Homo-oligomer: A and B are copies of this chain.
Amino acid sequence: MNSFGRNLRISIFGESHGEKIGLILDGIPAGISLSSDDFLKDLARRSGGKSGTTPRIEKDIPEIVSGVYKGFTTGAPIGILFSNDNTRSSDYLNFADIPRPGHADFVSLIKSGGYVDLRGGGHHSGRITLTLVAAGVVAKKILGKILVKADLINVGGVEDTEDWELLLQKTREEGDSLGGIIECTVTNMPVGLGEPFFDSLESLLSHIIFAIPGVRGIEFGDGFAAASMRGSEHNDPIVDSRGKTSKNGAGGINGGISNGNDLLFRVAVKPTSSISKSQQTLNFVTGNIEELKIEGRHDTCFALRVPVVVEAATAIVLADLILSSTL
């Protein structure tokens, strides 16, 4: 289902080339200042038009159609809409015949019995993440002094940001694409958010992070490296009475519950699936393996646009836990 959350619930709808994309954000308390302007900064971070991203520039203006009155939330569900204007559906023809490698074309066709809107990826489009970004803008207002910050720390295997521009340009010229790794750090965390087992902080965060199209992995604190460490290396000794630890191998979480240290996790994003470089794949009509070159406007590295989505997703989970807290 297309909803998530217990006491802060986001429900989303929309297709890349449909009429509108939108969300309902339910459970937001009354009395929070909110206007369209609040969204512009984060939406701009998600939009294309920059080096390494699609030339399809999306001027996404959120239309707040309910739940806000005279500039403040009322406690009623907040409806937010976005229009799809800058679409070129002709770019996306024939993907029912030749499902694109790495895309959801094939599974969508099968799952829907053929009744699918493949234009621009339809409901699978990364464009739908603007609903997450919009929800994140509101969620961040509930976090108080808690600060969520996500950054791209690796592009195509390269960590030095100065080398990225050249790598992006070279890859684009080759008609190929790049992935990346995003690191998210949350500072000023309180102790006590999350629960053991099914509502562990890692469970809730990973659930929503993997809702972002193209994510391949997530790790907390020492992450996969922890598997190669000794307990004496990985354990975080407590050094003060507020639970501060001398290191942060646990990523700020013990037993599914925030321990007051920085929340820390990394997200692996795959390279963009749509590449103009030739790929061999099945033509379902002819039954032959054929060469496929995907034309159109694509991100060379859509991971560039994902940090703000990761921030938003994180804020949504933390805001829900704060609203759920009986502390």
Contact = CB atoms under 8 A, between A and B. Distances in A.
A231 B273 contact: yes
A213 B196 contact: yes
A111 B227 contact: no
A243 B106 contact: yes
A317 to B, nearest CB: 11
Contacts of A101: 235-238, 245
Nearest to A190: B110
Nearest to A107: B257
A69 B326 contact: no
A26 B9 contact: no
Contacts of A226: 179, 216-217, 268-271
Interface string A200-235: 101110111111010111111111101111111111
Contacts of A210: 200, 202-203, 206, 256
Contacts of A104: 196, 254-257
Given A24-B24, A31-B115, A275-B235, A220 B211 contact: no
A84 B221 CA distance: 33
Contacts of A12: 24, 77, 197
A27 B303 CA distance: 30
A314 interface: no
Interface string A39-83: 000000000000000000000000111110100111111110100
Given A15-B66, A272-B231, A74 B112 contact: yes
A326 B323 CA distance: 7
Nearest to A123: B76
A295 interface: no
9 contacts: A13-B77, A69-B115, A124-B255, A178-B230, A196-B213, A206-B207, A207-B207, A226-B270, A234-B270
Nearest 3 CB-CB pairs, A to B?
A: A104-B255, A217-B219, A157-B228
B198 A208 contact: yes
A199 B210 CA distance: 9
A280 interface: yes
Contacts of A213: 196, 255-256
A282 interface: yes
B107 A191 contact: yes
A14 interface: yes
A81 B21 CA distance: 12
Contact of A115 (B21, B30, B218, B236): B30
Contact of A13 (B6, B78, B284): B78
Contacts of A185: none
A289 B128 CA distance: 50
Contacts of A327: 111
A241 B97 CA distance: 11
